[in-house]
Structures are given as C-alpha cells and as structure tokens.
Amino acid sequence: MKTGNQNAAILLAVLAAALYAISTPVSKVLLQVVPPTMVAAFLYLGTGIGVGTMMIVRHESRRSSTEERLHRRDIPFTIAMVVLDIAAPILMMYGLRTCSAANTSLLNNFEIVATALIALLFFGEAVGRRLWTAIAFVTIASILLSLDDSSIGEALTFSRGSLLVLGATICWGLENNCTRQIADRDPMEIVTIKGFGSGFGALAIAFAVGESLPNWKHLLIILLLGYVAYGLSIYCYTYAQRTIGAARTSTYYALAPFIGALLSILLLGEPITLIFIIASIIMAVGCWFAAK
C-alpha cells in the first residue's frame, strides 16, 4: 500500500470526524430558533439531497461504478435503518435542547457500547476483553456526564436531556448493526435512501406534533449542515476505511466527540466542570481500548 494513499486515507478519516463534530454545537444554536423535530428532519434531508446529487453527477459523468446495488433481500434491514434513523436524531435534538453541547458530544460515544452489546445479543458477534474494558469505561463516563448538576452532593438523579441523548445512541447502535448487514452495497445509495427516508419520516412527525417550518435562511443552514456533517462525513469515512481498514479508520473517527466538545466550549462558551474533565479522561481511555 502506497504511503501517499495511506496519508490521504488518514486525512479523510480525520476530516470525517471533524465534519461530524460540528453538527452538535451548530445544532445547539439552531435549536434556539427551530423546533427539534424540524432540525432532525432537515439534517437528514440535507444528507439525502447532497449525496443524491453526488450520485447523479457520478452517473452523468458516465463513470462506471463498481459498487453493488441493494437487493430485494436487503429490504428488511433498509427499512429498519430508516426507521431507527427517524427516531435517533429526534431524540438527539430533544436531548441537546436541554443538555450542554459539550456533554452531548461526549455522550455520543455511548454508541460504542450500544453497537457492541446489540451485536453480541442479537447478531452473535464476539466481544473481546479490550472491548469489554472499553464498554466499562465509556459507561462510567456516560453515567458521570448524565448526572443532573443540581443533584450532585444530594440524591443523585440523571438529567432528562442526557437520557434522551443516550436513547439516540442506542437507536444508532441498533442502526449500525442493521447497516452492517448491507455494508458491501453502494454507500452513496445507502446514505441517499437513509437521508430521504429518515428525513421525510421525521418531517411527517414534525407536522403531526404541530411544529412549523423554519424560515428559508435557517432551512438552508440546516440542509447544508446535514450534507456536510452527515453526508460528507459518512462519504469520507467509507472511502478511508477501504484504504486503511475499519479498525484504523474508527480510531481516527473516535476524535469526533472530543472535537465536538472542544468546539462547544470554544464557540458557545460552555463551562468546564470537574466532573466533565474526569468524565472526558475516562471516556478517552474507553475510546482508546475500543479503537485498538
């Protein structure tokens, strides 16, 4: 494998992490003026529109694609993927509305725990000693990050926002296992279906609960954020792992929650508490074990 190709793949993996990381602090700002389900809907619609356009460009340029299309037998996993991607971002946006962006960014790492345990329980995949260690560290850190600040020193309670964020990561953990069953299919096709299916599904729920459409400026920002933070991030991640492998790619992508937390602190001025520092260190150790 050429060193140049490896370096390019590493840059793609880090870029994927950085692109996804911006979604949390920017969404936190958008939630001040746009209802949560609307934000979730247009984030995914932005993904579908952006990556769908990339598919059209690929087709019109007459570049032959070697990617395998989805088959009829993939329909159950595809439907499950779309349904879970309707639920997950809605839970995430409602959680983010009341939870700090920095905490939310780090809590995203609970997806490691959810993905591994669901793979073990429902798909029969083995979980090694290192991953069990990672699960323990990430779970401890997630508990610390989920504590309601007002309950520290008294009867400990969990913040509602953090619990909603953890619910989102569990949905994404199950979605990861469904997507894994169709991982050898065309990633552009998968992301486009995910974007439009989940986006329109969330939009229907938004209208059903009485949320109103954002103004066109906020709408364009959300669509662009969805394309960049979700669509392009997944695209970069997929092509990085084809060169340096899934394990090394996940190692670099594990930077995303920490980049998101740092951006939240720098851009939104969120406070740094002692519990946050301790949880961040424990979370970093857990991610290190998971990525090795």
- What's the pLDDT score for residue 153? 47
Task: Please state the pTM of the whole predicted model.
Answer: 0.89
- What's the pLDDT score for residue 246? 62
- What's the pLDDT score for residue 218? 97
Cβ atoms of 31 and 39 closer than 8 Å: yes
- What's the pLDDT score for residue 64? 58
Any bridge partners for residue 147, and if so which?
A: 158
Report the greatest alpha carbon distance in the chain: 65
* pLDDT tens for each residue of the chain, 292 residues long: 456 678 888 898 889 889 999 999 999 999 999 999 999 999 999 999 999 998 888 877 766 567 788 888 889 999 999 999 999 999 999 999 999 999 999 999 898 888 889 888 888 888 889 889 989 999 999 999 988 755 444 445 678 999 999 999 999 989 888 877 887 788 889 889 999 999 999 999 999 999 999 999 999 999 999 999 998 988 888 778 777 766 667 778 788 999 999 999 999 999 888 999 999 999 999 988 887 6
- What's the pLDDT score for residue 85? 93
Any bridge partners for residue 68, and if so which?
A: 185
